[in-house]
């Protein structure tokens, strides 16, 4: 069974620090990798996607993908209290299947 695993947390970091969120996946055929942020009581919103090995940066966010190790991570630099949320990792398979396989999410708390 295809799986996506994340540490549930909570991950607690001080304001201004770097938050590191990790995700591993089981399907070597996976093509696309996504990080969503979900505030309590709200729907998930896309932060970043990546589908090539290496790093992808967007503002304070950096996604890192290592397909050989089946590992994707999200770094949040200069963490702010507004970054406090649950971060969901999602992975899509190969071919025409457009479904995403979801991790359970990591809860992040940024302390002022």
Partner 1 sequence: DGGITQSPKYLFRKEGQNVTLSCEQNLNHDAMYWYRQDPGQGLRLIYYSQIVNDFQKGDIAEGYSVSREKKESFPLTVTSAQKNPTAFYLCASNAISGLPNEQFFGPGTRLTVL
Cβ 83 to partner 1, closest distance in Å?
19
Going across the sheet that includes 61-66, the strands are 4-6, 19-25, 71-76, 61-66, 54-58
For partner 1, the closer CB: 42 or 77: 42
- Please, which residue, 5 or 78, has the CB nearer to partner 1? 5
Interface with partner 1 (CB under 8 A): 31-32, 34, 41-46, 49, 51, 88, 90, 92, 96, 98-100, 102-105
């Amino acid at each position: 069974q295809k799986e996506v695993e994340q540490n549930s947390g909570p991950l607690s970091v001080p304001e201004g620090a770097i938050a590191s969120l990790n995700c591993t996946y089981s399907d070597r055929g996976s093509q696309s990798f996504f990080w969503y942020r979900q505030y309590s009581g709200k729907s998930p919103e896309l932060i970043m996607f990546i589908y090539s090995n290496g790093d992808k940066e967007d503002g304070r966010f950096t996604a890192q993908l290592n397909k050989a190790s089946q590992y994707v991570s999200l770094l949040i630099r200069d963490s702010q209290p507004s970054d406090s949320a649950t971060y969901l990792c999602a992975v899509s398979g190969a071919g025409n299947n457009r479904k995403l396989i979801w991790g359970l999410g990591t809860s992040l708390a940024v302390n002022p």
